[in-house]
Amino acid sequence: MKKKTFVLLGAGGHAKVVLAALDSMGREAAALLDADKALWGTDLEGVKIAGGDDKLADYPPSRHEAAIGVGAARDTRLRRRLHEAAAAAGYALPPVVAASAFVARSARLGAGAQVLTRAVVHPGASIGAGAVVNTAAVVEHDCAVGDHAFVGPAAVLCGGAALGAGAFIGAGAVVLPGVRIGAGALVAAGATVSRDVAEGAVERGR
Ligand SMILES: CC(C)(COP(=O)(O)OP(=O)(O)OC[C@H]1O[C@@H](n2cnc3c(N)ncnc32)[C@H](O)[C@@H]1OP(=O)(O)O)[C@@H](O)C(=O)NCCC(=O)NCCS
């Protein structure tokens, strides 16, 4: 059976990385949709930006799967909203795992989880629905990454660390073993975090 093509919701920089991952998986994207009218009719990595949400009906779930193309600068809520809207509209959001990524057999990935170029998810780890393990990030053994959380490029979650839903870990940050980051909290790029972080807090580490 012919595989469905993807429709991506969001056409910013993160979408380029997701397209690269899909390409590495041998999967095709039919179109991207974005609220920014200035992008309509242009293309991203050779895939057209067909319009806004109103164009979703042109790419029905009978023939298309969905992926979220919006990244997160510090706030993960738009990603969650788009994921939930696509799921409610009947789209499957399969995990996107770049061919160069490593996901251990015993790791678990939720719907729409994205494990991008050269990222590592080690045994016993779980990646929640819609969560992102971005370029070259490392999620060590037995970590729990909550739904719609975002692990920035080259960040490292040491063994047994846990991220609450929607938490954001900046590029190159290190979360030490067993540390718990609360839901919606933000860890600054490059921070080293050795103590638990409260829900919604901003942690600059040291
Ligand atoms: C922490 C963060 C959210 C910024 O917080 P903010 O309170 O808005 O900070 P500002 O941008 O106003 O910067 C305040 C000061 O902190 C510095 N600063 C900002 N982020 C910093 C960081 N991660 N590490 C060290 N210094 C930082 C700024 O240079 C600035 O310094 P100055 O006062 O000497 O000019 C942001 O810088 C960050 O780390 N974001 C993560 C980005 C990322 O990793 N994205 C990955 C997406 S793929």
Q: Is 141 a catalytic residue?
A: yes
Q: Which of 143, 188, 192, 150 is nearest to 167 (CA)?
A: 150
**Which amino acid belongs to residue 103?**
V
pLDDT at 206: 73
Q: Looking at residues 82-93, what average pLDDT do you find?
A: 97
Domain range annotation of the chain: 5-93, 95-198
Average pLDDT of the chain is 97
Q: Which residues line the pocket of ligand 1, CB cutoff 6 A?
A: 71, 74, 134, 152-153, 170-171, 186, 188-190
Write down the CATH number for the domain with range 5-93: 3.40.50.20
Contact 24, 99 (CB under 8 A): yes
* Banded model confidence at residue 196, pLDDT cuts 50, 70, 90: very high
* Banded model confidence at residue 20, pLDDT cuts 50, 70, 90: very high
pLDDT per residue as tens digits for the range 43-55: 999 999 999 989 9
Residues 10 and 135: their CA atoms lie apart, in Å, by: 18
Q: Quick one: which atom of ligand 1 is closest to the CA of 188?
A: 39
pLDDT per residue as tens digits for the range 150-183: 999 999 999 999 999 999 999 999 999 999 999 9
Residues 28 and 98: their CA atoms lie apart, in Å, by: 13
5-93 against 95-198: fold identical: no
Which of 14, 83, 141, 148 is catalytic? The answer is 141
Write down the CATH number for the domain with range 95-198: 2.160.10.10
Question: How much is the pTM?
Answer: 0.97
User: How close is the Cα of 204 to the center of ligand 1, in Å?
Assistant: 9
pLDDT at 205: 87
